[in-house]
Amino acid sequence: MTLAINHALSLSYRRNPYDTNASTFVAHISLVKGVPFYGYHVGYKCFLKVYLLNPLTITRLADLLIQGAVMARIFQPYEAHLQYLAQWMCDYNLFGCGYIDCERARFRSPVPEWEAISNPFHKWHDNSIASEWILDPDKYPRQSHCAIEIDIQVQDILNRKEIRPRHLHHSFMERYHELGPEDKFVHSMAGLWRDETKRRKKRMGLTDPSSSPFPPEVLISMSADLREEAGGWIHEEEYRELMLQLIEQ
């Protein structure tokens, strides 16, 4: 697959496909699983996740896959329309208004001086940052005017390790699978819920870890099934008969 993609992209860019220096576009291909979001599907399917050396070639590769220029067959690309930054944040479980948890980081000099800090809760300064964590300013000069500037590597990002599988789509009975108290269907909102929970507990003086600062009516899902309480749909019996006829056909 890697050779086929490199060959197709090389011909598309009018390069020599046998020149490895000029015709290498794919960094890695891994086998993953997921639920297709085009149409209706139950259960996981296998996908090939393609990592490219240059994100600018994503659109062209997607066109070649649809046209059947790779391995002489048509492939349906997924998530190829996403911008590179948004796709990178999804891969590493990063969201707007959220924190990046890092295993290690390196600071660019100069770092804030403890004596010059007016806020006593300021965490990072010359007294808390070890000297070996500070990069050589000649090799790594500052790029901004922020108080703190750090460098991290993607393999040190810990947010992706927080992802846990949720077996919701292995059967048609997913609507009966209850989530835990800390789980959210929209995973990007989980961090905001945790922060808001801490803020409200602190303001309300709640110290019990099992207590909740939210009233019960707030915790009801907006997609909760209330039609049975409302007496059902007006044309429900008619539509169910039509559905049964379609199944029999």
pLDDT, tens digit, 9 for 90 and up, residues 95-112: 887 889 999 999 999 988
DSSP string, 85-126: HHHHHHHTT--TT----BS--EEPSPPPPGGG---TT---ST
DSSP single-letter state for residue 59: H
The structure's pTM equals 0.66
Amino acid identity for residue 235 in this structure = H
Positions of the chain with pLDDT under 50: none
Q: What are the sequence ranges of the domains in the chain? A: 2-83
Digit-coded pLDDT (tens) for 117-133: 888 788 888 889 999 99
d(C-alpha 131, C-alpha 138), whole Å:
15
Which residue reads 């000649």 in tokens?
A: 138
d(C-alpha 60, C-alpha 58), whole Å:
6
